[in-house]
Amino acid sequence: MNWFTDRQYFLLAVLVYGASTVYSVSLWRKGFRKDNRVNYLLLLAGFGLHVTAMILRGFSLRHCPVNNLFEATMFVGWTIVTAYLILGLVAKLRFLGAFVSPVLFFLGVFALMPALDPPHGPTPEFTGAGVSLHAALILQAYGAFGLGAISGLMYLSQEHNLKFHKLRAVFSMFPPIQKLELISARLLRNGFILLTVGLVIGATVMGQHKDGYFSDVKVIWSLLVWAIYLTLLLMRWKFSQGGRRFAWGAVAAFAFVLLTFWGTNLLSPLHNHHP
């Protein structure tokens, strides 16, 4: 017998992410001058609760929990914290958590809005393993884009310190900004690959069987996101537009995804099918 429901476990995870966010403020104020594992352990605890919530929801649905905005947001947050916990095994990258925790807290609070998880309402026309794989890959891509944007913010913060607070930059535990740019670029590249594969699977599985698939607002939006990240990656690798511009591009691109994902999802007939 479970002590809590999936939403209650997720609420507990969000509360832990909130505690991590509060702790991150102290790290900011101290200039990140020591390798403190507290934030990493807080996010690890939140991750355990987060995973429990996803497992319970998945078992209740008997498939990958990506059917509504609550589940999609929960999945994106899970991808971000999972990637951070892997990167955070390297001490120099552990302070990414100070940037990750506010994002996780914001996403969690948003996901818990009751309207995003209706008990009896429109359900998307998602059936079959292929469609579940399509949705999971695309949401994992958004998680990679999110962590890439967070790495970009870390880059901009360190660049600012180097420019205006040289001693803070010297004593900071941040890795070199060149390494931060490389991490951000690799995350965006991996996210782009996941998004590409997810879109191809979606077009293959659903495009041939659903009328109006390629004119659906969500599909058009996804292709726009794909084009934005392709442009960003090409600008860095082919035209040497890296450094500060690339970092701002990563942040701006993910901000666009965050601000428009929910609206396009609600406007999409394919993702809001009434049985």
Per-residue tens of pLDDT for the chain, all 275 residues: 467 888 999 999 999 999 999 988 877 776 665 656 888 999 999 999 999 999 998 877 666 667 788 888 899 999 999 999 998 888 777 878 888 999 999 999 999 988 888 765 545 445 556 777 888 889 899 999 999 998 888 888 777 666 655 545 444 555 677 788 888 999 999 999 999 999 998 888 776 656 667 788 888 999 999 999 999 999 888 767 778 899 999 999 999 998 998 888 878 777 665 44
Q: What is the pLDDT of residue 275?
A: 42
From 120, 136, 168, the end of a domain falls on: 120
Q: Are residues 170 and 251 in the same domain?
A: yes
Q: Are residues 132 and 267 in the same domain?
A: yes
Q: What is the pLDDT of residue 188?
A: 95
Q: Are residues 129 and 255 in the same domain?
A: yes
From 120, 136, 170, the end of a domain falls on: 120
Take residue 154 and report the two structure tokens written for it.
């870390």
From 94, 120, 146, the end of a domain falls on: 120
Number of domains in the chain: 2
**What is the residue range of 56's domain?**
1-120
CA proximity to 135, closest of 256, 222, 47: 222
Q: Are residues 140 and 262 in the same domain?
A: yes
Q: Are residues 10 and 106 in the same domain?
A: yes
Q: Are residues 176 and 62 in the same domain?
A: no
Q: Are residues 94 and 129 in the same domain?
A: no
Q: What is the pLDDT of residue 202?
A: 85
Q: Are residues 78 and 136 in the same domain?
A: no
Q: Are residues 114 and 176 in the same domain?
A: no
Asked whether the whole model's pTM tops 0.85, one would answer no
Q: How far is CA 31 from CA 156, 181, 184, 251, in A?
A: 14, 20, 21, 22
Q: Are residues 154 and 200 in the same domain?
A: yes
Q: Are residues 154 and 87 in the same domain?
A: no
Question: What distance, in Å, lies between the first and last C-alpha atoms of the chain?
Answer: 32
Q: Are residues 247 and 164 in the same domain?
A: yes
